[in-house]
Amino acid sequence: MTDAASRPAPPPPPVPLSRVQADTVRRGGLPPVEEVRHGVWSVAFEFGDGIDDHSLGYVVEGSDGALTVIDPGWGVDANLDRLEAALADVDHSLADVDLIAVTHLHADHLGGAEALRRASGARIALHAAEQRALGERTSDATAADADIARWGAPGHDQEALVASWGSGRHLPAVTADLLLGDGDVLPVAGRLLRALHTPGHTGGHLSFVEPEQRLVFTGDHVLPRINPGIGLGGRTGTNPLTDYLASLDRMVTLDVAGPDALEVCPGHEYRFTGLRERAEALIAHRADRSRDAAAALDALDRPTVWQVAERMSWSGGISSLHGYRLGSALAQTEWHVQALGRADELRGA
């Protein structure tokens, strides 16, 4: 088996550009609104469902004064109030918002979009694959229940998996006004803000890049410390791991060295530079996981997905994972095995 302990330590996480955002990662709480550039602000949004966490959204002002909100956060009233207060501080109001550009379908990014559309009259923009996933969430959930039955997790875990990863899973129901594809320019006056299709975390995940301002909004595709989960959206018929690695490669080539390096505005944690190095570290992390999966397949005779996952290194170990996080770990395990071309070695294959 691969000895995880003998591997070189991963590189240190990128240095925060916002000290106050980095402090809230350690200490909790919400960071204040920050001006990222002239006419670009970050706003922190709290989670719903009693979860003590937050996401980062961004307000971008066009040359005509109209505002675009990238990722309006979870759909709780406090977040709309928070956005309204943030806009008032920069002499704007909710009525100035005319576009809500959403990186992906998760509740902490898309959840607040409907309420913001109602309050402002703004249009919601999503990648077409994300809209399709929202439409297919019932059939996707049924297929996920079948995955869970095949994975071979112990009984009590199976029930929790169905509730959180299978047919019990909840996604916001939203119909976008504008469907985006790779390379589309957002309708923001005076700015060349482009959508990049970066599937992996979800199948229709978008990043937004404004090269002139050296800004890239990465949603949950690239985060400074967290290793983003993969395949957490609709079923795409592709391997989310393969998609994710290709999307990370795009980040490596998108970034430039030196003073023109892109500043990353992620959906969580803190802003940073060093996109290329961070994307390379995420690629290396996936290579480690693939080696773990290969070693487990070498050691076991027709294992279940569960048995392969048990031998892979998860922070805290597989037994510390439950519900949604366990579902994500087992799905990832299967995708790593498939990407190795060894899916036929699994039990039930």
Catalog residues that contact Zn ion under the rule CB under 5 A: 108, 220, 267
How crowded is the C-beta side of 12, counted as CA atoms within 13 Å?
A: 4
Instruction: Tell me whether residue 152 or residue 219 sits nearer to Zn ion (CB atom).
Output: 219
Q: How far is the CB of 220 from Zn ion (least distance, A)?
A: 4
Instruction: Tell me whether residue 33 or residue 226 sits nearer to Zn ion (CB atom).
Output: 226
Instruction: Tell me whether residue 115 or residue 343 sits nearer to Zn ion (CB atom).
Output: 115
Instruction: Tell me whether residue 152 or residue 267 sits nearer to Zn ion (CB atom).
Output: 267
CA–CA distance, 14 with 95 (Å, rounded to integer): 37
Q: How far is the CB of 46 from Zn ion (least distance, A)?
A: 13
Instruction: Tell me whether residue 102 or residue 308 sits nearer to Zn ion (CB atom).
Output: 102
Instruction: Tell me whether residue 112 or residue 267 sits nearer to Zn ion (CB atom).
Output: 267
- Residue 40 parent element (H or E): strand 40-46
Tokens of 184: 């589309």
Q: How far is the CB of 8 from Zn ion (least distance, A)?
A: 29
CA–CA distance, 210 with 206 (Å, rounded to integer): 13
> Given the structure tokens 């040359």, which residue do they identify?
63
Q: How far is the CB of 104 from Zn ion (least distance, A)?
A: 8
Helix, strand, or coil (residue 46): strand
Q: 41 phi and psi, to 5 degrees?
A: -125, 150
Q: Which of 264, 220, 227 is nearest to 73 (CA)?
A: 220
- Decide: 40 and 62 in contact? Cβ < 8 Å: no
Q: Which of 238, 218, 237 is nearest to 228 (CA)?
A: 218
Q: How far is the CB of 1 from Zn ion (least distance, A)?
A: 33
Sheet holding 194-197, edge to edge: 194-197, 206-210, 215-219, 263-266, 272-273
With 0-12 CB in 10 A as exposed, 13-18 as middle and 19+ as buried, what is 168? Answer: middle
Q: How far is the CB of 230 from Zn ion (least distance, A)?
A: 13
Instruction: Tell me whether residue 31 or residue 267 sits nearer to Zn ion (CB atom).
Output: 267
Helix, strand, or coil (residue 237): coil
User: What is the C-alpha R_g of the chain?
Assistant: 20
- Decide: 119 and 96 in contact? Cβ < 8 Å: no
Helix, strand, or coil (residue 49): coil
Q: How far is the CB of 38 from Zn ion (least distance, A)?
A: 27
Q: How far is the CB of 221 from Zn ion (least distance, A)?
A: 10
Q: What is the residue type of 117?
A: R
Instruction: Tell me whether residue 152 or residue 224 sits nearer to Zn ion (CB atom).
Output: 224
Q: What are the Cα distances from residue 223, in Å, to 37, 66, 77?
A: 20, 28, 26
Instruction: Tell me whether residue 137 or residue 311 sits nearer to Zn ion (CB atom).
Output: 137
Q: How far is the CB of 267 from Zn ion (least distance, A)?
A: 5
